[in-house]
Structure 1
């Protein structure tokens, strides 16, 4: 559970901004969205594999760009 201690005299907007940042860092909203609807195990596997392939392609593109920059 995310918690932000408000200092005396601190504006509400500043405390709210810090709270939102903490919630984002903790991944609470993304977890809630993920759990909002049931996802079949086969769909989970497909999403996980797609994410793995995206990361792999991105990594390859970066390494190719670095190699091209060295030339």
Structure 2
């Protein structure tokens, strides 16, 4: 990941970096890796995330098609 610093404006570059990291999911990944997660818990979490994503897609599709 790369962020350009323009006109020695480090604060703005730091904000851009944080936003990029947030979008990539780096902070969530770091939080998840703080503690050990059992494989069964990992599978359950990933399944729940997949269901959440699928429902979100359905919700967006329904909203777009006007049901």
What's the TM-score bracket when you normalise by the shorter of the two chains?
A: 0.5 to 0.7
Q: What's the TM-score once normalised by structure 1's chain length? A: 0.65
Number of residue pairs the alignment of both structures matches: 66
Structure of higher CA gyration radius:
1
Q: What's the TM-score once normalised by structure 2's chain length? A: 0.68
**Residue in 1 that maps onto 2:3:** 4
* 1:16–1:59 CA distance, 2 compared to 1 (3 A): closer
Higher relative contact order (CA 8 A, sep 6+): 1
The Cα RMSD (Å) is 2.2
Stretches of structure 1 lacking an aligned partner (at least 5 in a row):
none
Stretches of structure 2 lacking an aligned partner (at least 5 in a row):
none
